[in-house]
Every structure is written in structure tokens, then in C-alpha cells.
Chains A and B, each alone.
Chain A
Amino acid sequence: MTRLRIDSLTHTYPRSERPALANVSLEVQPGELLCLVGPSGCGKTTLLKIISGLLAPSEGGLFFDGHEVTRVPPEQRRAVMVFQSHLLFPFMSVIENVGFGLRMRGVERERWIEAAQTMLDRVHLSAYAGRRPTSLSGGQQQRVALARALVAEPQLLLLDEPLSSLDRHLREDMRQVIIELQRATRVTTVCVTHDQEEAVLLGDRIAMLSAGELVQVGRAEEFYERPVSVHVARFFGNHNQLEGERCGSLIRSEVGELVIAPESTPGQSATWPSDGPACLHIRPEAIELMSPHADSDNTLRGRVVHRVYVGTHVRYAVDVAGQPWQVVAGPHTKRFDEGEQVGLRLPPERIWLTRE
């Protein structure tokens, strides 16, 4: 198990003005699976290439268990990358592919064959050992690539969009295989994905990159409930937004006054704008729907425009003084019909603020 420390890493590609990575610092705990997310072009694959050693950073350092590896060539780092396109060697059999890492380390033939066979067993592909990789399906190839990466007991496992080339139903199987193998081997893993759902389902922790900068690191809950910016909030699901003016623990807006609770999230509320213009945010599932006549605090009035029942929950579109609001309610809560007046209660502790 290796601890990975990335120390103020900056990388600018030749002939590019904007850095692909700007001052990224990050620590991955031994045995942890960290998901790097962000929209395409945010620099996440660049970061993965730098960790693997295929790319030398312009500035900054990289440490495996405290040892600097910034200038160590990839073949000596034992940080194995699994590329999106599997990249199995087409002129070798499946078992030769899996044993490649051990062969490169000069392990004897019987030993690498045995180790490769065991690893193929674990991804349920031992029957295909003698086949050519091209005769395998996409999902099988991906599992071979994973087995090939893990057989040499790497210090770090680097996954580049491991699921995006697979069909939807295969994706779930593969995700399970990755999680199981990672848990069993406890190899420190960094996984790149552009899909927030994948990141939430796979990662012990998530790190989000945007335009080359690290914007937030934490557990999935923090990304949903305590996003540091509107950008992060949008990337992780829907949210409602209301412009107003902050006055202590009160937000004054066109639709009324609302109470906020900065003391419930001391860490996050430190970044909130102080008195003056502010933007209020709340997740659709945080809002409580109730009858418009109910006497409750922090409640906006609106009219149901649209309602969809989707089994696990009910989705409402509500018109609040001309603004469309989204509300998600549990399947067993009181139903409101389209056109009906409703009250929207905004629990203070679920509200967060941003500048714009």
C-alpha cells in the first residue's frame, strides 16, 4: 500500500498558453480509491499521465510513500495505467498479456504463468488464457487489462475512464469487478472519470478538477450537500437557485425572507459572502412540499406545473413567482396535482450561499 502525494503540480503543454494543470496538491491515502472527476479537458488525464511517468510535469513534485519520483521513468515507478482503450498487445495470447509485467521484471516462466493464471481466475477469464485478445468482447478485454495491471502488484493503479467504453449493463459488472479487486488487493488507486455518478459509486473519495485546478476534494456527500461552488453543485446533480441579499442569518429576496444556518456548516459557511448580494442554493430533494396554508417557517409559495412519478421518488416542477423550481419528494409523501398551490419549506441547514 502506497501513499501518493502530489505537491503543487503545474503542467503547461508546449505551444499552449493556459496551463493544463495549475498548482494541484493532493494526497491519496494507502489503499484508497480516489476518483478524479471533471468535465472533459479539465486536465484529469494529464494528471494521470504525470503520476504514471508518461509525462514530466513543468513544475511540482510527486511522492510515493515519501520518496520523490518526479523524474523517475515510468518503468521504474510501478504505477500501472489501464487505458480507456484496453491496449492489450494483439500479437500475444491473453495469458502472455497478463504476465507481461512479471516477464519485464525477469520472473521465471512457471512463476509468471502461475500468477497470471490466478489473476485470470479472479476476473473469471481463465478459460480464455490461450486466446488472442482480439477474439474477446470489450468487457472481457477490459477485465484482462485490469488483471494485467494487478498481477505485478503495482504500487499504484491508475484507471483512465475504465467504464466509458462499455455498454450500460456491462458497466455495472465491471464496476463491481474493480471495487472487489481493489478491496482485495488494497492497491492505492486513482480513477479518472467524467461521470459524476461513476465517481460516487466507485470512489472512497472524490477530487474534482476544473480548468486545471483542483476545486474540491472529499466524500460524495460533501459534493452533494456542501459543494464549494455553483460549478461543482451543477456537476453533481440539480439545484435551485435564488438571488437576494444577505443580512446576518437572513436572506431577503423578491419572494420573501428566508433563514439560513451558517453555524450548521462552519467550514463551508466561512467561504460564504458576508452581508450584501448573495445567491442561495438548495437541492431539489432537500425541499419539503406542504399544503400552502400550513403554518411553517422558511416557506415559499408556488404552483405545481408538472409532476412525474418515477418509482423511487416523485419529481415536481413548481412555479415560484415566475421562477421554475425543482422539487424531489419521496414516493410515500402527500401528492400534489398539477395546477395545485403548494408551500415549499427550505430547511435552513440545507441551504448554502455563493457570491453569484
Chain B
Amino acid sequence: MVLGVPAGRGLASLTPGPRAALELLFFAPVIVPALAVALGLHIVFIRAGLADTIFGVVIAHLLPTLPYMVLVMTSTFANSDNELEYQARTLGAGPVRAFLIVGLPTAVPGVLTGALFVFLISWSQYALTLLIGGGRVLTLPLLLFAFASAGDLAVTAALGLVFLAPAVVILTLTARFLTGRSVALAGVAGK
């Protein structure tokens, strides 16, 4: 969120040509197979002392998630014009204050959509977590996989349901509270 919101805002303020090029650049990590990136990253992280730590896993998770956050934020800011911020500026707010007090609150639905979206992507990461976390940082997919390969069907089924739960909850939430108020999803769908 901290990285995605400003990036999206920056991208949205560009003209269509350079914007498309930069968006492609932001999406580059998604195009490369996750395993290839993870293996290389692993070596770097071992040297940096980040391997097998929660912090390392968090950073690694930014790889597939950040592009989506940027995408959602770009369409949010591109769809809302900056007039409210202009209004705030003529009333005496500096550019940073105008963005924080007026621009950001109007982008809340978009930020929420992006955050939920990105949570789901991170939630279902297997390969990245396994490699960078080295089996010491446990997430639900790792557990699920372990139990499934051990043949413990009852636990696997239970975990499977737990694994499904956030997706269902988030889908319901976005459908109920954000439809109509957020143009971000429509913007993503339209791309």
C-alpha cells in the first residue's frame, strides 16, 4: 500500500504513452516465472541474511503483489480527476496536504480493493514462501501441502476450507460495499 499508492498516483498523472510503457515495466516481475525469480532471490537473500526470515518472505511477496496494487491504484487515480485537490489548493492547502486530506480519502475504495486483491495473491503464494522462508516461515499453503502429501485427508479438507474462507469473505465484502462506489474494479476489468 505504501509503495503502490504513490506509484499509482504518479502513473495516473502521466500521459497515455509513457504510462503504458511504465506499466509494462511494473508488470515485468509477474511475466517472469515465479520459481526463476525465487531461486535467484534466494541466493541474494542468503547473502543479505534475509533468507528464512519473516521479513524476507514479506519482501519476496511484494514481487508478485506490488504490480497489481500499482495497477489498481493507477486506474483509481486515473478515473478520479484532481479537481477536489485543486479546490483544496485554492483554499490554502499545499500540494502534499491537499493530497493527504482530500485526494487520499476519495481514493479509499480503490485502496481497499487493491489491498484485498493483493492480500489474496499473497495468501496463495506457495513457491516463494517455501524457498525464501526455507520451511521455517509457515503459511497456510505450506501446511496444506504438507498435509496433502502426507495423505491426511481430514486435516487437508479442513485446511482447504480455511484456505477458501478469506477469498469468499473478500468477494462478499467487495461485492457488497464497494460496488457502485469504486470504479477501480471496473477499471481493472476494462484493461
Contacts and interface: CB of A to CB of B under 8 A. Distances in A.
A89 B84 contact: yes
Contact of B92 (A78, A83, A89): A78
B105 interface: yes
Q: Which of B92, B93, B102 has the most CB of A within 10 A?
A: B92
**Interface band, chain B:** 10 to 19
Nearest to A51: B90
A1 to B, nearest CB: 19
Interface stretch (A97-105, A204-212, A234-242, A260-268): A97-105
Among A53, A81, A149: residue with most chain B CB under 10 A: A81
A54 interface: yes
Nearest to A49: B86
B76 to A, nearest CB: 15
A195 B52 CA distance: 70
Interface in A102-160: 104-105, 148-149, 152, 158
A90 B91 contact: no
B191 to A, nearest CB: 25
Interface SS, B side: helix
B91 A152 contact: yes
Contacts of A52: 90
Nearest to B98: A75
Contact of A75 (B84, B92, B106): B92
A280 interface: no
Nearest to B93: A104
What's the interface size class on A, roughly?
20 to 34
Interface string A54-83: 100000000000000000011101111101
A85 B91 contact: no
Interface in B63-121: 83-84, 86-95, 97-98, 102, 105-106
A101 B92 contact: yes
A80 B88 contact: no
B87 A152 contact: no
Contacts of B106: 90-91
Contacts of A83: 83, 86-87
A54 B102 contact: no
A87 interface: yes
A2 to B, nearest CB: 15
Contacts of A78: 92
Contacts of A73: 89, 94-95
26 contacts: A54-B90, A73-B94, A73-B95, A74-B86, A74-B89, A75-B89, A75-B91, A75-B93, A75-B94, A80-B90, A80-B91, A83-B83, A83-B87, A87-B83, A87-B84, A89-B84, A89-B87, A89-B88, A90-B106, A100-B91, A101-B91, A101-B92, A104-B92, A104-B97, A105-B92, A152-B92
The 5 closest A-B pairs by CB, nearest first: A104-B92, A101-B91, A87-B87, A74-B89, A81-B90
